[in-house]
Amino acid sequence: MDPLVGVAALAASLRSARPPVVLDVRWRLAGPPGRDDYAAGHLPGAVFVDLDTQLCGPPGAGGRHPLPDPAALAGVLRAAGIGAGRPVVVYDGGEGQAAARAWWTLRWAGHEDVRVLDGGFAAWVAAGEPVTTAVPEPEPGDFTVRPGGLPVLDASAAARLAGDGVLIDVRVPARYRGETEPVDPVAGHIPGAVNLPTTEHVGADGRVRPADALRAGFARVGVTDGVRVGAYCGSGVTAAHTVLALHRAGRTDAALYVGSWSGWVTDPARPVATGDGPD
């Protein structure tokens, strides 16, 4: 199943007898809170879910956006009206990263029918679709979180994958090379990782590229049939967008290093590489 859904298809499904649950996960790394955007206007029926506090665990040794506690996540998803048999669509402002992390989290939690609105809220508004400030009161769902629906890398597994597969660092080249690090205390990349910024998976229109174009881009960094692949970024949010692109390209086995660079550098014994090359 394509992990993306277009505006027209979502609008039609929202008018159907059994519409999907829609989650608004608008978020910015440096703020202001996405809830303010939600209050100003959102898709009809959409429920706001906070990426930092509801879809991730507290920052620590697992990075800035670690895995959530399964029981706490189940409570959040049920309160949003999510049940095992009901489709879910998530959207953000249009950047795609927050929505991709929400998509990944629900898929990891065992929900098989989750998609991201391609182009997000910006695309919805540009298409002339309705926006509301009404806050819904969804009937509680019965979703049970079953971790393991998508593969996860810890630091040791990420290091191994960098040596015997393809570990993609999806950050901008300057951060990969270690020339700058605006967020974390150490600059550089995981030794053996290759750099492919997640922005390369998006066209000029802000939409995710078609599957064939994605496959060609991934092949340039060694992602071919039979080669294991995973991705990381600063804290496991942007890399989820690359995992989503890998799914669209047919690589549903792609793994996410959730802790990413923010988790890697919590242990000073872990090696750090700099420069253009993997090592």
Catalytically annotated residues: 233
* Residue 88 · residue 23 · CB < 8 Å: yes
Looking at residue 157, the DSSP 8-state letter turns out to be H
At residue 22, the 3 state secondary structure works out as strand
Pairing of strands 166-169, 194-195: parallel
Residue 249, phi then psi, degrees to nearest 5:
-80, 0
Chain centroid offset of residue 159 CA: 21
Alpha carbon of residue 279 to chain centroid: 27
Distances (CA, A) of 18 to 25, 121, 192: 22, 22, 47
What is the Cα–Cα distance from 211 to 118, expressed in whole angstroms? 14
Pairing, β 152-153 against β 47-48? unpaired
Instruction: Count CB atoms within 10 A of the CB of residue 25.
Output: 28
User: How far is the first Cα of the chain from the last one, in angstroms, to the nearest whole number?
Assistant: 36
Three-state DSSP state, 121 = helix
CB-based contacts of 16, cutoff 8 Å, min separation 6:
none
Closest CA to 251 of 215, 208, 220: 215
